[in-house]
A and B are shown apart, each in its own frame.
Chain A
């Protein structure tokens, strides 16, 4: 089954304790990204990657790290979590580019993982 998986799904931790949220996709997608979702703010992109060893900052990268050593995996690392990183996190993947083509009327859809609810105390 084609899917994006995230682990853990739920995590409660304390300030300063390093953590990693894993993301894996089995669709051979080049593009992967991380988002956080907060009430009233919608999804905000943290980091994205267009291929192995290629990562770029999104809208809100501060306090996060990522790596893309393999095509299928894109872990999100919080070196020193703080309470303002309490949020719902989604990983997503797509074929490159995650765009729509107005002439051919084709598009590359982003597929999302089930989400990770993180609470930092």
Chain B
């Protein structure tokens, strides 16, 4: 089993749609979780951190479910500019960072 797994997609959604991604992790001792965004093989950039109590930033909401060992990202009212690959990142509790393979999102007019 991979340490961090994501559905690769692609997710093709119309503008204005709500879309959700999940990411599962294998190490129950992991404490830190992030969502990064990557455009067209450019460098990844932090989208948001994921906290036990959830995290909301505008149209983006991230949740952590420790019991089931997954994190989620919800994007409401999708924009064309949201088209990108979304990377789930887990700190394996020893500063060894593991990335998921990414979920590709395309938002269409």
Mark A residues whose CB is within 8 Å of B.
31, 33, 35, 37, 40-45, 48, 50, 56, 58-59, 88, 90, 96-100, 102, 105, 107, 109-110, 112-115
Contact = CB atoms under 8 A, between A and B. Distances in A.
Interface of B: 4, 8, 31-34, 41-46, 49-53, 55, 87, 91, 95-102
A50 B46 contact: no
A43 B89 CA distance: 10
Contacts of B102: 42
Contact of A43 (B49, B52, B53, B87): B87
A75 B7 CA distance: 33
Interface centre among B91, B95, B96, B99 (most CB of A within 10 A): B95
B99 A42 contact: yes
Given A98-B95, A107-B34, 8 more contacts: A42-B99, A43-B99, A45-B96, A99-B91, A102-B31, A102-B53, A105-B51, A113-B43
22 contacts: A35-B99, A37-B41, A42-B4, A42-B99, A43-B87, A45-B98, A58-B97, A59-B96, A90-B44, A99-B32, A99-B91, A100-B34, A100-B50, A102-B51, A105-B51, A107-B32, A107-B49, A110-B46, A110-B97, A112-B43, A112-B45, A115-B41
